[in-house]
Chains A and B, each alone.
Chain A
Amino acid sequence: MEPAVLTGEHFLNGDVACAEGALAAGCRFFAGYPITPATEVAEHMSKRLPRVGGVFIQMEDEISAMAAILGASCAGVKSMTATSGPGFSLMMENLGLGIAMETPCVLVNVQRAGPSTGLPTLGAQGDMMQARWGSHGHYEIIALAPSSPQEIFYQTITAFNLSETYRIPVLIMADEIVGHLSERVIIPESSKIKLQSRPRPTGRKDRFKPFHPGPNGVAPMAHAGEGYMVHFTGLTHDERGYPAMTVEAQTEMMDRITGKIRRNLDKIIQVERYRLEDADVALVSYGISSRSSQAAVDEARERGIKAGLLRLLTVWPFPEDIVRELAKRVKGFITVELNLGQIHLEVQRCAEGRAPALLAGHVGGSAITPEEILERIKELVSQGK
C-alpha cells in the first residue's frame, strides 16, 4: 500500500492534482471514460487507486461512468468521475438521478471549447450554464471553479466535503488550461486535511426513513448491505423513499433537495476579494480567467483606475447577495469568462440595473489576456464620464 496523501512539494498538472486531491479526500472509487483534456485524471487514478486499496474502472461510456459512481456511493464508498464537454452532456441524466437520490459524488469537468466536438485540446468555460441547468427539471447544484493545480487539489477535497455534507453530486468546473498547466502543488500532512462524511443513521433500522431530513435539512444515508432495506428511486418519492405521484410529494421532495442548499448558502459559497474595498470597477471572474483578471486589476490600478476582483471559488450556487451588495457601491461590473456571457447573465441579474455590467468574454481556445480585460475596464470608465 502507498500513502493516499502524498505530503510534500510537487510539480503537477491540474488533472493530476485533482486526482491527488480526490485521494486525499478519501475517494476510493473512480469510474471514467477517456476524453481530452480530462484523460489524465483517469490515468492517474488508474495508477494510484489500486495502491491505496481502491477501485478504478474504465467504463464503456460516460453514461455508465456516472451510473457506476452513484452505485459505489450508495454502497458507502466516496466516488468520482472526470470528463469534458461531450462526456459531461452524456452524464446529465444520471447527474439528475444523483440529485434525486441525494447521493454524494464528485464530477469533474475539464472544460474544452464547444459546442459539439469543438476544440478538444483547448480550454474554455462554456459549460457553466450546463453545469447549472443541464439535467432536466428544477434543482440546486454546487459547482466549484479552480484556477490552478494547487487550487484544484484543495477544491477537490472541498467538493467531496460539500458532497458528503449535503448529500449531493458536486461539480468541479475546471478547464483545459488549468488541467494541463503544471505548477507547484503543496500537499499538506493528512492530519491537516479536514474531511466530512455524510450523515449516518442511528436508531432502529425498521423505523428508518431514508429521506427524512436531519437538523440541517439533510437526511442520514444508509448504505446497501447495512440492513436498513432502503429504497432509492429517481421517481418522486416520500421520506420512505417510496414513489409518490402527487403534487404534495413533489412539493415536499423539491423543498428538501433545493432547501438543503438554499438554506445553507452562507456555509457553501466561497469567494475571494482582491483590491475590492475601494473599487469603482468590480471584475467578476472564476477559474483560469480570474488569473488574467487579477493581472488586469493591477494594471488598471497602475493607471489610476480603482479596479478590484470578486473571484468566485463557488460558481453555483451563485453568490447573489454579494453581487447585489457590490452593485450598491461600485460604478460598474465586468464579468470575465471564456464564453460569450453565461455567468455574466447572473451578474447582470444581480446588478439589477444599479450598475452597468460589461462582458470581457472570449469564444474559448486560449486564455483571455489582461490587455483584453483592461480595454473593457477603460470602456466602462469612459462610459461613466
Chain B
Amino acid sequence: MAIVLVRTLIIYFALLLAMRLLGKRQLGEMELSEFVVAALIADLASHPLQDMGIPLINGLIPILVLFCCEVLIAGLSMRSIRLRGLIFGKPSLLIVRGQILQKAMFQNRFTVDELMQELRAQGITDLSTIEYGVLETNGKLNVIPYPSERPATAAQLKLDAGQGGYPSIIISDGRVLDANLRHLGFDRAWLQQQLEAKGAENPEQVFLMTATESGQIYYAAKEAQP
C-alpha cells in the first residue's frame, strides 16, 4: 500500500510539473500535437500505478521524452513558419462572402451540421451575414461578419466609454494582495480609506475587492457565516 502511495505521489507531481511547463492552454484550445501529448501522458502515467510489476521509470521516461519533444517542437515551430504549417496545419477558409466553400469543407471533414452548430453557438443564423468563416488549427470556427453586421463600437457611435483598465484583485477572501496593490501604485493607507468609504473596518470583512489603475473599484463584502 505504501508503494502505491509513493508511486502515485511521484507520478502526480511529475505530471503536474510536465503539464505546468508545457503551458497554460485549455483542452479546447490545444493544437493537434499538444492534444496527442496530453492524452498520451495521461495514459502512460496510469500504467505503473495500475501494475506494480511495471517499474516506475517506465512511466516517467515516456513522460519526460514526450515533454522534451513537445517543448522542442513548440520552440522550433515558433521560429519556422514552414514547420508550424507542417505540424499544426493552416487555418482554412470555409466561408467567403457568405458562400460556403464546399471543397474546403470536404477537405477538412467538416459537415454542414457541424458548421450550422458552430454558427448557432455564436448566435448566427443567417449565413449571408458572414464575410469570412475560418476553421482554425485548433478546430475552432471563427466567424467574421460583414462590417455592416458587426456591433457598433463606442468610437463609431462617438460615445465616451470612460476609462478602461485591468481590474486587479487587491483583497481576496479577507486577504490583502500587497503585490497587486503596489503594482497599481496604491498603498495600505489608500486601501484603508477605500474600506472606510465602503463601510468596512478591515480587510477581513471583504470577500472581493478589485481596483484599476484609474481607481475604479469593485467591492463585495463578506457574508456572515451561517
Are A and B physically bound partners? no
Residue ranges of A at the interface with B (Cβ–Cβ < 8 Å) = none
